């Protein structure tokens, strides 16, 4: 009878140990690297769900869609220009892959909280300069002829196509920054999925992270 009791107690302790092992907090440095790979580089990172509870089905697709939507609204373009904007996105994404880099370092990790510092060598800003002047310069270079017979619709299309050429040129010209910039990622334990993390103030962090990589 006593032996049977000890077996039950030992079995219970074993179960507790197994559950604890299953819910052990994942490495914050690896979590930060996975986060950047997924959200910035658009990689199909299978490990992302090991560190964070999945909130999006296709981050890369959503990032591209948001880029196209925002640039389309800024230039007042309709859906017929989506393919052009998608190509610009792909060019910018290739620049990210080829020119940028980052390094993660865990500064603190205790009691369900972690701080990871990221040193980022991002792209130079591409949305700078006097855009209107650059469009006029492009139109001059293209020798676009505008007469009194040119309709408003034709003028609009000329301006939009010129704007796309200027943006495409800017994206192709961006280089990596000479100096790395630091950003701090604060993580807290997910209350529901104990082994996973939640990024504190995630919207603000993601905005700052994107800016450090030169995407704003």
Full-model pTM: 0.77
Kindly report which listed range (27-31, 71-75, 83-87, 111-115) carries the lowest average pLDDT score: 71-75
pLDDT value at 213 more than 70: yes
Assess if residue 187 is contained within a domain. Answer: yes
My answer on whether 85 and 46 are in the same domain is yes
Between 126 and 125, whose confidence is greater?
125
Is 74 domain-assigned? yes
pLDDT confidence of 55, banded at 50, 70, 90?
low
Q: Is residue 16 part of a domain?
A: no
Same domain, 87 and 160: no
Q: 183 lies in a domain?
A: yes
Q: Are residues 122 and 156 in the same domain?
A: no
Note whether 120 and 63 are same-domain residues: yes
Q: How confident is the model at residue 32 (pLDDT cuts 50, 70, 90)?
A: very high
Instruction: Decide if pLDDT at 4 tops 60.
Output: no
- pLDDT digit string (tens) for 135-161? 888 888 888 888 888 888 888 888 889
Q: Are 104 and 116 in contact (CB under 8 A)?
A: yes
Assess whether 102 and 33 both reside in one domain: yes
* 143 and 43 part of one domain: no
- Residues 192, 206, single domain; the answer is yes
Same structural domain, 48 and 107: yes
Percent of the chain with pLDDT over 70: 85
- Give the integer Cα–Cα distance in Å for 100 and 120: 8
Q: Give the pLDDT confidence score for residue 11 in this predicted structure.
A: 47
Q: Are residues 160 and 70 in the same domain?
A: no
Kindly state the tokens that stand for 72.
Answer: 């389309």
Tell me, yes or no, whether 53 and 118 share the same domain.
yes
My answer on whether 107 and 134 are in the same domain is: no
- Is the pLDDT score of 183 beyond 90? yes
Q: What is the 3-state secondary structure (H, E, C) of the chain?
A: CHHHHHHHHHHHHHHHHHHHHHCCCCCHHHHHHHHHHHHCCCCCCCCHHHHECCCCCCHHHHHHHHHHHHHHHHHCCCHHHHHHHHHHHHHHHHHHHHHCEEEEEEEEEECCEEEEEEEEECECCCCCCCHHHHHHHHHHHCCCCCCCCCCHHHHHHHHHHHHHHHHHHHHHHCCECCCCEEEEEEEEECCCCCCCEEECCHHHHHHHHHHHCCCC
Residues 64, 49: one domain? yes
Q: Which domain holds residue 160?
A: 130-166
Instruction: Specify if 186 maps to a domain.
Output: yes
- Count structural domains, the chain: 2
Residues 6+ apart with CB under 8 A from 88: 71, 164, 167, 168, 171
For residue 45, being part of any structural domain is answered with yes
**Considering the domain boundaries, does residue 64 fall inside one?**
yes
Please list, in sequence order, all residues whose beta carbon lies within 8 angstroms of the beta carbon of residue 95, skipping any fewer than 6 positions away.
Answer: 123, 171, 174
Q: 2 lies in a domain?
A: no
pLDDT digits (tens, 9 = 90+) for 78-99: 899 999 999 999 999 999 999 9
Query: Per-residue pLDDT averaged across 21-40, rounded?
Result: 86
User: What percent of the chain is predicted at pLDDT more than 90?
Assistant: 43
Please enumerate in sequence order all residues whose Cβ is within 8 A of that of 96, keeping only pairs 6 or more positions apart, or say none.
Answer: 40, 41, 123, 213, 215
């Amino acid at each position: 009878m006593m032996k049977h009791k000890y077996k039950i107690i030992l079995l219970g302790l074993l179960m507790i140990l197994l559950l604890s092992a299953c819910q052990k907090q994942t490495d914050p440095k690896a979590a930060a690297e996975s986060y950047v790979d997924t959200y910035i580089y658009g990689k199909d990172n299978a490990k992302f769900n090991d560190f964070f509870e999945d909130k999006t089905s296709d981050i890369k697709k959503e990032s591209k869609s948001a880029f196209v939507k925002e640039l389309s609204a800024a230039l007042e373009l309709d859906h017929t220009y989506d393919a052009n904007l998608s190509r610009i996105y792909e060019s910018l994404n290739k620049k990210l892959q080829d020119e940028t880099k980052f390094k993660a370092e865990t500064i603190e990790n205790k009691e369900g909280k972690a701080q990871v510092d990221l040193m980022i060598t991002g792209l130079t800003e591409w949305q700078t300069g006097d855009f209107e002047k650059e469009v006029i310069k492009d139109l001059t270079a293209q020798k676009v002829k505008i007469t009194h017979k040119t309709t408003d619709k034709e003028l609009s299309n000329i301006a939009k196509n010129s704007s796309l050429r200027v943006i495409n040129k800017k994206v192709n010209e961006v280089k990596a920054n000479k100096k790395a910039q630091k950003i701090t990622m604060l993580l807290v334990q997910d209350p529901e999925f104990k082994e996973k993390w939640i990024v504190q103030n995630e919207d603000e962090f993601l905005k700052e992270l994107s800016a450090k990589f030169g995407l704003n």
